[in-house]
Amino acid sequence: MQLKRTIRELLMTGCLACPLAAGADLVFSGLAPELEANARALMPLAAASCDASPSRIQRLYRDAGDSLQRSLRAMGYYNARFKADIEWPEGCWVARFDVDPGEPVRLAEVRIDAAIEQATAGKPEPALAPLVSGEILNHGRYEAYKAALLNDAISRGYFDARYKHAEVLVDRQANTASVVLELDAGEQYRFGEVIFTQGIIKDSLLRGYSDIRSGETYQSAAIDDLYESLRDSSYFSSISISTEPLDKQAKTVPVQVELEPGPRRVYSVGAGFATDTGPQGKISFVNRRVNDKGHQLESRLFGSEIKSEFSTTYRWPRSDPRSEWYSLSGGFLHEETDTSENDTSKLGLTYSKARSGSWLETRYIDFLSEDFIIGDEAGSSDLLLLGFNWESVRGRELSRTRNGRRLSLDVRGASDSAGSDTSFVQLRANAKWIHSFSDFTRVLVRARVGMTFEDSLEELPASVRFLAGGDQSIRGYDFEELGPVGASGRIIGGENLLEASIEIEKLVRDQWAVAGFVDTGSAFIGSDFEASTGVGVGVRWYSPIGPVRLDFAHPLDDPDRSWRIHITLGPDL
């Protein structure tokens, strides 16, 4: 009985071949690779070495024919014939099997009763593709499919489901087989009470992470969703969900959620380097649970050669903590580049909500007070900004993204009739698409568009104007050095922006890749668009902490200019 069970498990797991010991040899002819692999896996002779006694080898050889027939029947070949012989060259042995597998047995009928369709909601979703008439009989695949159907019924709450009839009927003369599966599904269980560990955050907030309602039919996917939501909340260090014991009388499933609180206060320090900003450092503090209502507080200090920023954000969830949050933020920013300089104070209120299709919608009101210098212009501006943002990311990975995309659309505006110093409406859109043609080659396409409708460009502060150039823009040019110029010949920034980039990357060894790219675009006023283009090559290292990129780029509209080096770190999306 134990031997039969072991053979079945080998069949269901693919029946990989066992290697022979040095010197011994087992030779098959006439078998397809998958049939030979299964025969070797189920033939004890295949594991015998030259050190085994001749009597043992002879006994295994006599039994090898039966093992060969069993292995072929398991794969649907019931009328196989073979010739076998064994030789003893130089004290070892060589066994040969010349096999004619014959015609395979094919499925003539697959009969699955209505109880299975009911237990799987009319849409069976087993781990394997359905058995269909005309395919070659494979007993391992039949067992796996039968188990997958039962597991699917159980995952939908039919915990008492059992097969009352499950068999394969083989007609060796006609080389056909019939599969019959009849299920005693029993009654579908329903969710009982959901109980959470208390004392970490309010019970009403915890229940916002779950779509499970007492009395609804059981679905294992709802348990998985609850676990994922609690894990992503950042409130807990350990999550355990138990659905035992089942109430066999009431046909209900209890849900007991055991939670351990995570660290309340988290401090972090980081350092890095990018060509645009030079050396940079960050210090942050997060209080993940200010109170039992799930409120959070984060403060951040960032410094680099061109940018220094301090910000604080206070966040709190709404009715659904998985998708709805409010935040109140404030901060100060000083930025100084070769093109502009600005000091900005900000106070803002934000409402964020997750939408279908992996979209995050954000509505915000920001008050900005900015002193700026750009080109020969100097000024100050107070703006009350009203904005909407939609962002979606798919396929993001810490290391190398094979296929994915990031989309972002932002619309914001201010009005002098609502307290701002100027009126304008601005549209900003970003897109990045990554597609792999093979395990080694992929293409990265990027685009950025900006449009501003304003009364006067001179009244727009530097932080609202568009500039191009740099590591994440058009490589080959310095950070924000591209844009329209004023009467003095200095960059003054534009009201519009167009950028595009295409990059081809190829892995050359583990974690290392080379790339070639073209970037083009610029900032401009009105319709006076004149693109600047940079081309180059790069090296990528996919380190344990994320991708590191080294690019060498040259500006095509300035042939006498030297190559520029760009170094960036961070995920692809």
Residue-wise pLDDT tens digits, 141-150: 999 989 988 8
Kindly write down the DSSP assignment for every residue of 288-333, as one continuous string: S-SSTT--EEEEEEEEESSEEEEEEEEEEE-S-TTTEEEEEEEEEE
Q: Are residues 172 and 280 in the same domain?
A: no
Q: Please answer whether residues 219 and 155 qualify as being in contact, where contact means their C-beta atoms are separated by less than 8 angstroms.
A: yes
- Tens digit of each residue's pLDDT (9 = 90 or more) over 459-498: 889 999 999 999 999 999 998 899 998 888 889 989 999 9
Q: Are residues 493 and 529 in the same domain?
A: yes
| Mean pLDDT of the 309-323 span | 93
Q: Residue 299: which pLDDT band, with cuts at 50, 70 and 90?
A: very high
Number of domains in the chain: 4
| Mean pLDDT of the 170-195 span | 91
Q: Are residues 248 and 276 in the same domain?
A: no
Which pLDDT value is given to residue 375? Answer: 81
Domain boundary among 242, 261, 280: 261
Here the CATH number for the domain that contains residue 303 is: 2.40.160.50
Q: Are residues 34 and 114 in the same domain?
A: no
Which pLDDT value is given to residue 63? Answer: 92
pLDDT exceeds cutoff 80 at 190:
yes
Hey, which of 5-9, 49-53, 175-179 has the most confident mean pLDDT?
175-179
- In the DSSP assignment, the letter for residue 55 is H
φ, ψ for residue 11 (rounded to 5)?
Answer: -60, -40
- Tens digit of each residue's pLDDT (9 = 90 or more) over 384-442: 999 999 999 998 888 889 999 999 999 999 999 998 999 999 999 999 999 999 989 99
C-alpha distances in Å from residue 487, one per residue of 375, 490, 491, 524, 532:
9, 8, 10, 15, 20
Q: Are residues 310 and 387 in the same domain?
A: yes
| Mean pLDDT of the 251-279 span | 90
pLDDT exceeds cutoff 70 at 115:
yes
Q: Are residues 270 and 317 in the same domain?
A: yes
| Mean pLDDT of the 91-111 span | 91
Q: Residue 376: which pLDDT band, with cuts at 50, 70 and 90?
A: confident
Q: Please answer whether residues 459 and 493 qualify as being in contact, where contact means their C-beta atoms are separated by less than 8 angstroms.
A: no
Which pLDDT value is given to residue 275? Answer: 83
pLDDT exceeds cutoff 60 at 13:
no
Q: Are residues 284 and 218 in the same domain?
A: no
| Mean pLDDT of the 445-454 span | 95
Q: Are residues 63 and 161 in the same domain?
A: no
Q: Are residues 300 and 415 in the same domain?
A: yes
Identify the residue with better confidence: 276 or 525.
Answer: 525
C-alpha distances in Å from residue 234, one per residue of 314, 348, 455:
15, 24, 45
Q: Are residues 562 and 512 in the same domain?
A: yes
pLDDT exceeds cutoff 80 at 128:
no
pLDDT exceeds cutoff 50 at 9:
no
Kindly write down the DSSP assignment for every residue of 209-240, as one continuous string: T----TTSBP-HHHHHHHHHHHHHTSSEEEEE
Identify the residue with better confidence: 561 or 254.
Answer: 254
Domain boundary among 120, 153, 184: 184
Which pLDDT value is given to residue 2? Answer: 38
Domain boundary among 58, 78, 100: 100
Which pLDDT value is given to residue 506? Answer: 96
- In the DSSP assignment, the letter for residue 491 is B
Which pLDDT value is given to residue 351? Answer: 96
| Mean pLDDT of the 176-199 span | 90
- In the DSSP assignment, the letter for residue 487 is T
Which pLDDT value is given to residue 127? Answer: 62
Q: Which positions ≥6 away from 133 have C-beta within 8 Å?
A: 106, 107, 108, 109, 110
Q: Are residues 233 and 309 in the same domain?
A: no
Question: Is residue 245 classed exposed, middle or buried when 0-12, 13-18 and 19+ CB atoms within 10 A define those classes?
Answer: exposed
Q: Are residues 370 and 463 in the same domain?
A: yes
Q: Residue 125: which pLDDT band, with cuts at 50, 70 and 90?
A: low
Query: Tokens standing for 212?
Result: 């499970």
Which pLDDT value is given to residue 347? Answer: 97
Which pLDDT value is given to residue 32? Answer: 92
Neighbouring-strand partners of residue 448 = 430, 499
Mean pLDDT of all residues belonging to the chain? 89
Max CA separation in the chain (angstroms): 103
Which pLDDT value is given to residue 545? Answer: 82
pLDDT exceeds cutoff 60 at 452:
yes
Neighbouring-strand partners of residue 182 = 165
pLDDT exceeds cutoff 90 at 49:
no
Which pLDDT value is given to residue 488? Answer: 80
| Mean pLDDT of the 159-171 span | 91
Q: Please answer whether residues 43 and 59 qualify as being in contact, where contact means their C-beta atoms are separated by less than 8 angstroms.
A: no
Handedness of CA 371, 373, 374, 376 (dihedral sign): positive
**Cα–Cα distance measured from residue 118 to residue 131, given in angstroms and rounded to the nearest whole number:** 18
Which pLDDT value is given to residue 183? Answer: 87
pLDDT exceeds cutoff 80 at 174:
yes
With a threshold of 0.85, does the pTM exceed it? Answer: no
Here the CATH number for the domain that contains residue 243 is: 3.10.20.310
Helices 139-155 + 2-12 axis angle, to 10: 80
Q: Is the peptide bond before 130 cis (omega within 30 degrees of 0)?
A: no
HEC assignment per residue over 126-175: CCCCCCCCCCECCHHHHHHHHHHHHHHHHHCCCCCCEEEEEEEEEECCCC
Q: Which residue segment(s) compose the domain that 205 sits in?
A: 190-261
Strand 176-184 versus strand 106-112 pairing type: parallel
